[in-house]
Amino acid sequence: MRAFVRNHKTVAAVIGIVVLFAAWLLSAPIRGYLVASIDVARGHYELQTFGLLAEWSPEYARLLRERYHVEHRIVAGCVVGPSLVSYVKAYNSVSTEAAKRKFGRNVFRECSADARKAWIQQGRPKVLTE
């Protein structure tokens, strides 16, 4: 009987851990929304990105930071799971809209265009992506 109780507790613990892990993964968009809302409420604006970045990304990040005090944070490289993608999308949807409201324009598009223009003016090769 003790072996059954011990195995039963082990199985229950494993099931509990699996359920918690699944809940954590599925709650990614909610967590992204909540964390961004808290950041914006305390005056912190951030754009999170992942994947292959444009050549002018360092300049883009500098312009965002210096002009508007918006941080550009790289959260992952090219290998990204669906949970992180949904977290980042939710986070950025809150953060970017709040920044647009605060500054009265799309500062992300502005800084990206300026960084790209500076990249080209420095004699760097034109690229097809925008």
CA distance 111 to 12: 52
Q: CB count, 10 Å around CB of 60?
A: 24
Burial 22-45 (b: 16+ CB within 10 A, else e): eeeeeebbeebbebbeebbeeeeb
* Mean pLDDT per 10-residue segment, the chain (130 residues): 62 71 74 96 97 92 97 94 94 97 97 94 66
Residue 104 phi, psi dihedral angles, 5° rounding: 75, 10
At residue 74, the pLDDT reads 95
At residue 59, the pLDDT reads 95
Question: For residue 98, what are the contacts with CB-CB under 8 A and spacing of at least 6?
Answer: 36, 40, 45
State whether the Cα torsion 59-64-69-73 is positive or negative. negative
CA distance 44 to 95: 9
Average pLDDT, the chain: 87
At residue 21, the pLDDT reads 67
At residue 129, the pLDDT reads 52
At residue 28, the pLDDT reads 87
CA distance 6 to 24: 27
Q: Is the pTM of this model over 0.75?
A: yes
CA distance 33 to 36: 5
